[in-house]
Structure 1
């Protein structure tokens, strides 16, 4: 028996020895074979770098030192030597241009690529292996890897117009892309809110159009405040960035925003715009932001601008935008109407096509190709060489391909990283709530809508980070980028059949988040899950050894907050917040504890479900309670909810007869004002699944942390009928006020309560919920105990102010003392704390 036990121990020990270390490579390689042995990197290791990638020698050397801890000797050549690390270009390899082979044996390390970029991709894999959690520093496990990308175009766009990022920040952003084998940096250099690239033939584009603020030709916007804000890149800066990117295998594609989104241009050179008697607004509310198509001199100006662009950017494409053009301006412009009459056009899309055909010729004149957003294919045909970026949705990519254009899939619904990552985070919402998992789920080729030959026109996939709301908090650009770009890189590189979220998430959280932190990225970590049940909050960490901290009284957890180690006993679960922290800079959004669902269902057939649940254990106080229906996945949001009723001791409290689809994420209000712990509460509702599609959801019941007293709202400003003053009286989180015009000194919004309200604190919020557009910049809040005499409270700080009343409040007033430099003002429901 002892002999058998000894054999088992020896066997288990040997198994432990031969166990291969997890390498956690992102994006996942195509083919990989691994052995348990490791190559121990000599302390005086030599890096032999092919002359074909000599420009990258310094980058390779410094990256190797940082990730391995060993300072290498570098020589330029292509001869194999033992115990060296060789980076070799081999044009005869039967791999795609960006592909590579990596061999690690007892003899050393060999990275071969068919092109310089292929070698650099192999180098990134070496760095990731060296920095994997289970790999001992100074060693490289024996591996044989053959790897190549699924798509030749693997891009990411950064908007530097709304927010200006200096040269060094842009270089770091490119460095991070290279680490993920992304090969195109799309640089959005011009827009309404700033022109960022020096054009020597038109200096005022940057001297005037590169700045906004008091006394500038551009008004403050997107949080820039009442100060001079902006900047631009000199042509030498641009060339430096382009060379920096090239050394890392990244091409830089510039974008000139024309003919719309051009307020910075027309502010610096007014003659470029249309002359009209009636101003029209763009989608973003800008005026005078369109190039005049009927002014012939404008095409000469564009020629000179594009010529200078080609001296800075060697990339084969120049992106000329074409999105969201305010064509209504052309309808008012005599010169533009003259072109339409001359050419026999019947609509302004044809005029837009006329414009881009002329731009194509200018671009081709300088041996470049044109790229643009999907709107440019409207109104007529374009050169088959023009590349289309399908941002408005997958269907626009399908249309582009069917018209014969090479197409980059960049649908806002999956790859726009200015979108919020959860319901309670800052960011846009018009496309979708986009977290890392949703990005990873995206498939760029719609195989059911395109033939095999048509599919070949989908050249690649790209993400975009628009910068409207990247001003605050600090380093929010990094938070919005990663790890969503990590997911995007695997979509762009790895085989479709190898995609698996659980596997990706394991690689990401085991090693790759630490790599991101070592790169200096303040990424968005994954939040914990906190559940409240029977007097205890229990937290589930998002991955092994995640650091979760908490705060009470609804304050935000910090690195100094208590570490969560065991369940927390409390009755005030709603006052706790929890957050994951990683290193010094990265963190997740904070989350509150959730009570168990009061009901749930899962149906995949046509049927009617009548659900009745005893919810007595979920109700524990008087207050305003909200019942919400939350689909378990985006794909399960099918079915209709109806006949919703709440009962107390068998007596109906309230019912809702109107049908609601699950897609609407309904949130229903109930008031419980006769609570007793002996009371019995029941919820009844009906689900009708009208199609044989999966319908699955959980039903939550939560008590509001705020009071909702009856209130009447009036204002000196006129309301937008779609966003009326009554939106500030309903306490619905998804409704808000928009005024019809911009605010000026002396404007006000008055909240008058039917009965005076006793509160510990009142939050007064302006702007659109979760992404602060149209906020009050200059102004303060006032409050009255009798509805007649008002006391001055706090000034607005980034659109928000707080009142701490000493007695019952009868009225609250927003007072504006200056314009917010926006076309309108928005305001939200008061948050009235008990």
Structure 2
């Protein structure tokens, strides 16, 4: 696979000339990400790129010559020839230059006249992105000549940090695979590569002062199977990057204007280092490089006088290899179990006078102390640190940048405290998560495209601390480039769009974006890239019209293909109803919809059941609001007649960090004798069940009477995940208003991965009969 050959499509015309077919392609500026401002001059003579075109660069500018080399490679992929280069302008030219008056260093101007093309950047990086635009506007089909309509483009990115992460700890990817990853990033205008190099399951970076880190720590005795079968494969596994490898990759990334940020995960996720140097742990070992994923109790001994010198030595070599402004030091998922039992750690706590408080345990201060010491060292070397959002526990290091992964609210909290934030919430931007990828149709893409890192309650000052967005790719079940591509594509297009163009919904049109993405997906096909084909599926969008008591249904598919549907559960055919515009229903129905077009072989089918009870399509008010991350279309989800499956993040479930307290207005006094709702339980993800339920009735919406209640114990560790239905029956009541209360688990139990943490409940539908 040659990623340089991945060029967006355009039209191709064939003209007979001198008994030979001359293939002339036409550039198309509807690319991803879409430039900020594009002005095409209609009915003017286009510029024709041909073998006589010359690439013009400033004299003695070697960096610009490298960019010209990229441009020539892209042209060669399209035309089969390379262009001459010069330092003097001609009439048939592509000129590359810099204008410091362009304020954004990654910004550029692309001006096309009948004589030639001029790309002017605020820096060399800006010129590079101008070249990428020219690359993606050029036709993908083989062309002898390319016609570029006269156009003026002014473009720049909205975010300075446009990131993509790769975990090499669980599975190792060689130098060539990392380069291919960087090529995909460059194609999508991403500029930060977050490289996760150390993990419980493997230490992947050569540190010359500590050779055992790679001699021992880079290897594990076996791996968990990735084929869906539980258990291990029984095969030894290993791999690491030499310092020469690192230098090669950093140089390769820099040529594509990608900053490489290394992550050395501290003080947890460190069993691979403890296996090599057991004296760094609280128990002294012996330790083994981990096979199982998850959170491991063995972490660095912060109380040991050997730990900080070791960390400083490692980071010294890391900083010599990586010129990045940031060094990522992890800080996530570090349990305190060993510290509570360790004499050295307890001695340090005593010496510092740390005590348990309502907010933090004394052991939390150990992590804050350790991270602060690491930060001081990194800053002494002219760098800054990034850490996962758990570094806020115990009081964050003073100048850290916080990477918010658990949800966007943690990022908002950090911003309010004055910390710079990179948003990478797992619900939207963990591209490794198959439960998100398997959402029907283009829902996984929508999750990325619709993500707004600036929450509604953030002030302008808070919002200014949101410095970037990053998606993450963890490699627990990823081993090959094909698997990487499948997880990234086409969501990488949506990430490119929001990081480059911003996330203001008023200025964005998803359906216009989807058409551009449809073209990109066809290019993925042409160049053999693996991608998630669910984007082609029909998707359904429902709006609960509680005013008129009916459900509005909209069907979508990329590329404006023909959709046929039925409402009686029968299989759609070309004789079925052709979808033209949104329609409504107000009774039980089984919706089935699919694309039927000549040449289509995809038989994917939308199938949804709408079930009506007395609460369906009725207005709902909530006393406590759902989490912003899991609000979706709000309270109306609870009475739209639609139920969710076991994936709580599909948009069918509301996620609460408080009690469910929902009041349904039935519209008039009605006989009622039962009320119910469903919860979705995923214990490992802190999604618990209710601990009690109440039903209240009222005639006027002001004076309520409790008519039923129940309680249940907090879930145990071995209780099953899945959907739980909760129902209470009571003597028949005359009521217009019915209030349903579901009591949340107050705190996660002691056996949980995050003991004492907040627990969610997820609710999808309310039933009143």
The residue that corresponds to 1:478 in the other structure is: 485
When the two structures are superposed, what TM-score results if normalisation uses the length of structure 2? 0.67
The residue that corresponds to 2:254 in the other structure is: 246
- Structure 2 residue aligned with 1:723, among 709, 718, 723? 718
Counterparts of residues 423-462 of structure 1 (less than 5 Å): 435-446=444-455, 448-462=456-470
Counterparts of residues 309-324 of structure 1 (less than 5 Å): 309-324=318-333
The residue that corresponds to 1:407 in the other structure is: 421
RMSD: 4.5
1:594 is paired with a residue of what secondary structure? strand
The residue that corresponds to 1:808 in the other structure is: none
- Structure 2 residue aligned with 1:71, among 49, 64, 82? 82
Shift of 1:375: 1.2
The residue that corresponds to 1:343 in the other structure is: 352
The residue that corresponds to 1:769 in the other structure is: none
C-alpha offsets along residues 540-589 of structure 1, whole Å, 9 cap, x if unaligned?
Answer: 964357999xxxxxxxxxxxxxxx99689xxxxx9x999999x9xxx999
1:459 is paired with a residue of what secondary structure? strand
Q: Distance in 2 between matches of 1:204 and 1:547?
A: 60
Shift of 1:382: 2.1
Q: Which has the higher contact order (CA 8 A, sep 6+)?
A: 2
Q: Distance in 2 between matches of 1:170 and 1:292?
A: 33
Shift of 1:390: 1.2
- Structure 2 residue aligned with 1:489, among 496, 500, 521? 496
Shift of 1:157: 0.6
1:138 is paired with a residue of what secondary structure? strand
C-alpha offsets along residues 342-393 of structure 1, whole Å, 9 cap, x if unaligned?
Answer: 1111211111011011111221232211111111122135232x21111111
Quickly say closer, same or farther: Cα 1:131–1:324, change in 2 above 3 A: farther
The residue that corresponds to 1:82 in the other structure is: 91
Shift of 1:424: 5.2
- Structure 1 residue aligned with 2:386, among 364, 371, 378? 371
Quickly say closer, same or farther: Cα 1:192–1:267, change in 2 above 3 A: same
Counterparts of residues 450-599 of structure 1 (less than 5 Å): 450-471=458-479, 475-495=482-502, 496=504, 497-509=506-518, 511-518=519-526, 520-525=528-533, 526-529=535-538, 542-543=558-559, 591=604, 594=607, 597=610
2:70 is paired with a residue of what secondary structure? helix
Shift of 1:528: 2.7
Quickly say closer, same or farther: Cα 1:519–1:119, change in 2 above 3 A: farther
Shift of 1:417: 1.1
Shift of 1:306: 0.9
Q: Distance in 2 between matches of 1:274 and 1:28?
A: 53
Q: Distance in 2 between matches of 1:83 and 1:634?
A: 53
- Structure 2 residue aligned with 1:34, among 33, 37, 40? 40
1:467 is paired with a residue of what secondary structure? coil
Q: Distance in 2 between matches of 1:595 and 1:325?
A: 42
1:169 is paired with a residue of what secondary structure? helix
Counterparts of residues 643-658 of structure 1 (less than 5 Å): 657=674
- Structure 2 residue aligned with 1:228, among 226, 236, 246? 236
C-alpha offsets along residues 158-212 of structure 1, whole Å, 9 cap, x if unaligned?
Answer: 1111121111111111111111111101111111111111111111211211122
The residue that corresponds to 2:744 in the other structure is: none
Q: Is the 8 A contact 1:275 1:333 kept in 2?
A: yes
Quickly say closer, same or farther: Cα 1:593–1:170, change in 2 above 3 A: same
Q: Distance in 2 between matches of 1:175 and 1:156?
A: 12
Q: Is the 8 A contact 2:108 2:156 kept in 1?
A: yes
Quickly say closer, same or farther: Cα 1:370–1:595, change in 2 above 3 A: closer
When the two structures are superposed, what TM-score results if normalisation uses the length of structure 1? 0.62
Q: Distance in 1 between matches of 2:177 and 2:698?
A: 51
Q: Distance in 2 between matches of 1:389 and 1:66?
A: 38
Q: Distance in 2 between matches of 1:115 and 1:108?
A: 21
Quickly say closer, same or farther: Cα 1:283–1:164, change in 2 above 3 A: closer
1:371 is paired with a residue of what secondary structure? strand
Q: Is the 8 A contact 2:78 2:142 kept in 1?
A: no
Q: Distance in 2 between matches of 1:387 and 1:203?
A: 30
The residue that corresponds to 1:59 in the other structure is: 70
Quickly say closer, same or farther: Cα 1:111–1:190, change in 2 above 3 A: same
Shift of 1:458: 1.3
Shift of 1:419: 2.0
Quickly say closer, same or farther: Cα 1:483–1:285, change in 2 above 3 A: closer
Quickly say closer, same or farther: Cα 1:518–1:105, change in 2 above 3 A: farther
- Structure 1 residue aligned with 2:408, among 394, 412, 420? 394
Shift of 1:232: 1.0
Pair 1:237 & 2:251 matched: no
Counterparts of residues 785-800 of structure 1 (less than 5 Å): none
1:476 is paired with a residue of what secondary structure? helix
Q: Distance in 2 between matches of 1:164 and 1:200?
A: 20
Shift of 1:39: 1.6
Q: Distance in 1 between matches of 2:523 and 2:306?
A: 51
Q: Distance in 2 between matches of 1:44 and 1:565?
A: 54
Counterparts of residues 270-349 of structure 1 (less than 5 Å): 270-275=278-283, 284-287=293-296, 289-346=298-355, 347-349=362-364
C-alpha offsets along residues 506-528 of structure 1, whole Å, 9 cap, x if unaligned?
Answer: 1110x222343455431112143
Quickly say closer, same or farther: Cα 1:303–1:249, change in 2 above 3 A: same
Quickly say closer, same or farther: Cα 1:136–1:148, change in 2 above 3 A: farther
Quickly say closer, same or farther: Cα 1:200–1:577, change in 2 above 3 A: farther
1:629 is paired with a residue of what secondary structure? coil
- Structure 1 residue aligned with 2:215, among 207, 218, 230? 207
1:659 is paired with a residue of what secondary structure? strand
The residue that corresponds to 2:547 in the other structure is: none
Q: Is the 8 A contact 1:318 1:369 kept in 2?
A: yes
Q: Distance in 1 between matches of 2:218 and 2:264?
A: 14
Q: Is the 8 A contact 2:297 2:334 kept in 1?
A: no
Pair 1:23 & 2:40 matched: no
Q: Is the 8 A contact 2:121 2:127 kept in 1?
A: yes
Q: Distance in 1 between matches of 2:187 and 2:459?
A: 34
Q: Is the 8 A contact 2:179 2:249 kept in 1?
A: yes
Q: Is the 8 A contact 1:482 1:523 kept in 2?
A: yes
Quickly say closer, same or farther: Cα 1:661–1:421, change in 2 above 3 A: closer
The residue that corresponds to 1:178 in the other structure is: 186
Q: Distance in 1 between matches of 2:35 and 2:193?
A: 22
Shift of 1:44: 3.1
1:475 is paired with a residue of what secondary structure? helix
Q: Distance in 2 between matches of 1:31 and 1:640?
A: 46
Q: Distance in 2 between matches of 1:514 and 1:318?
A: 38
Shift of 1:45: 2.1
2:379 is paired with a residue of what secondary structure? helix
Q: Distance in 1 between matches of 2:439 and 2:539?
A: 17
Q: Is the 8 A contact 1:90 1:114 kept in 2?
A: yes
